[in-house]
Structures are given as structure tokens and as C-alpha cells.
């Protein structure tokens, strides 16, 4: 489900309500490795997306700081076993984590590669 809002600013309560509806299973199901766009901002230039981390993803067991995230991309929350986590650099990703990220449209594919089955998603 994609949230749409015609005004200039998205109320934070609307975003939180949507995140909670996804967390409670009231939204459509997604498979690990499938990135879902939850919200488009600034006339589609930016997106709030969710990616469920698959068991075979190369980011499992890695920290946020280890990820080679592109500019204009930030992980804003992780949904883990029904709890919302506000991540920091030392937050470790686990199988089944729902990763919420805000990214520019130009960086969306790179983010999907990093969180999916990419062979080099972290810094050496």
C-alpha cells in the first residue's frame, strides 16, 4: 500500500500509523528480499521503503555502520519481532528484520542491492 498525501507536508502521525499497520500485519504481506515503497515525498524524488531481510542476505549479522549506504539514504527504523527499533551505527541486522529507509529515487536500486543478496554490501 502506498500512502498518498496531496499537501506539502506529511503528518508524522500518518507515517507512524502506517508503520504500525504494517507491523501488525494489517497491510499486504511481503516476502524477504522484496522492497516495498510505503510513501513518496517531494514529488517522487524520495521514498520511504521497507525491505524484509532474508536469511541468506549478506547483511545478516552486520551493523548499520558496516553497510556501504549511498548518500541520500538513511535507515530510519527497524521492525523486529513486533518492536520498533530506532537504529544506530552499532545496531546489528537480523533475519526477518523489517528495515525502513528513506532514500532518493536515484539510490533506490543500490539500497535494494545492499539489503538483498549483494556480495559486497559492507565496507572492508
Q: Which CATH code, of 3.40.50.1370, 3.40.50.880, 3.30.70.1450, 3.40.800.10, is assigned to 12-115?
A: 3.30.70.1450
The string of DSSP letters for 1-21 reads --B---SSS--HHHHHHHHHH
Query: Helix-strand-coil percent breakdown of the chain, rounded to 5?
Result: 20, 30, 50
> 3-state class of 114 per DSSP?
helix
**Residue ranges per domain, the chain?**
12-115
Closest CA to 50 of 106, 3, 89, 7: 3
pLDDT per residue rounded down to tens, the chain (124 residues): 444 444 555 555 555 555 555 544 444 454 445 788 888 888 889 999 999 999 999 999 999 999 989 999 999 999 999 899 999 999 999 999 999 999 999 999 999 999 985 443 344 3
Q: What is the pTM of this model?
A: 0.70
Amino acid at each position: 500500500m502506498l500512502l498518498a498525501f496531496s499537501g506539502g507536508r506529511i503528518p508524522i502521525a500518518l507515517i507512524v500509523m502506517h508503520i504500525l499497520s504494517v507491523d501488525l500485519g494489517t497491510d499486504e504481506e511481503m516476502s524477504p528480499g522484496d522492497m516495498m515503497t510505503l510513501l513518496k515525498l517531494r514529488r517522487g524524488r524520495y521514498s520511504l521503503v521497507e525491505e524484509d531481510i532474508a536469511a541468506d542476505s549478506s547483511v545478516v549479522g552486520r551493523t548499520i555502520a558496516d553497510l556501504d549506504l549511498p548518500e541520500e539514504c538513511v535507515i530510519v527504523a527497524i521492525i523486529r519481532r513486533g518492536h520498533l527499533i530506532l537504529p544506530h551505527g552499532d545496531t546489528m541486522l537480523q533475519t526477518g528484520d523489517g528495515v525502513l529507509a528513506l532514500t532518493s529515487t536515484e539510490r533506490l536500486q543500490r539500497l535494494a542491492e545492499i539489503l538483498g543478496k549483494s556480495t559486497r554490501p559492507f565496507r572492508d
